[in-house]
């Protein structure tokens, strides 16, 4: 009697297998969206903090400096709102992508473009704001703060743009586009 192969389908009508990348990319999107949401909600905690609040956490000298360099509360709240909306878009697109829905792929591509624009705009706005308030910061680390700040911003910008750029490159591949074209909405 011939032995049955373990890797053989149970019936002659095996369903075509689906690729794993939508589940992986969708899961990464959901996880990243959750991390972004928690981070942004944490940013709301410090809106309206006074010099005394910052000084109790960072010490009197650094607390006064940080309090003086914080952007207006409305700017922080608007930034958090836009970033939370993008996180919601990323999370919902990731969930739909995990279910092999075209809309999830479209939403992730839209999110990636918006995230790139928002990241560059908010980073530029933050740099503009903090460049107005650097006199106190420069007294803490004369000659070294500017170089360290530029390096930190470039590294952070690269990290913030990595996933959106990857999504755009991945979703632009012809084999990925043909796979997505076979899915339902």
pLDDT tier for residue 16 given thresholds of 50, 70 and 90: low
| Amino acid 30: pLDDT | 97
Kindly tell me the sign of the dihedral angle through the C-alpha atoms of 118, 122, 125, 127. Answer: negative
Kindly tell me the sign of the dihedral angle through the C-alpha atoms of 88, 94, 96, 101. Answer: positive
In this prediction, residues 108-130 reach a mean pLDDT of 90
% of the chain residues with pLDDT over 70: 81
Task: Name the residue ranges covered by the structural domains of the chain.
Answer: 21-181
User: Are the beta carbons of 47 and 76 closer than 8 angstroms?
Assistant: yes
- Considering the entire predicted model, what is its pTM? 0.79
In this prediction, residues 6-30 reach a mean pLDDT of 76
Reduced to 3 DSSP states, what percent helix, strand and coil does the chain have, rounded to the nearest 5? 75, 0, 20
- The residue whose two tokens read 């930034």 is 79
């Amino acid at each position: 009697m011939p032995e049955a192969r373990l890797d053989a389908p149970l019936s002659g009508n095996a369903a075509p297998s689906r690729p794993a990348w939508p589940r992986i990319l969708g899961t990464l999107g959901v996880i990243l969206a959750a991390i972004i949401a928690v981070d942004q909600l944490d940013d709301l905690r410090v809106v309206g903090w006074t010099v005394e609040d910052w000084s109790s956490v960072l010490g009197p000298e650094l607390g006064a400096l940080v309090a003086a360099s914080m952007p207006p509360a409305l700017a922080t709240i608007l930034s958090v709102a836009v970033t939370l909306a993008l996180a919601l878009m990323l999370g919902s697109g990731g969930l739909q992508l995990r279910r092999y829905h075209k809309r999830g792929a479209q939403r992730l591509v839209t999110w990636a473009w918006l995230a790139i624009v928002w990241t560059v705009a908010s980073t530029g706005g933050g740099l503009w704001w903090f460049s107005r308030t650097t006199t106190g910061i420069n007294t803490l680390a004369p000659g070294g703060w500017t170089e360290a700040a530029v390096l930190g911003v470039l590294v952070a910008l690269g990290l913030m743009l990595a996933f959106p750029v990857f999504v755009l490159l991945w979703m632009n591949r012809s084999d990925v586009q043909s796979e997505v074209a076979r899915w339902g909405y």
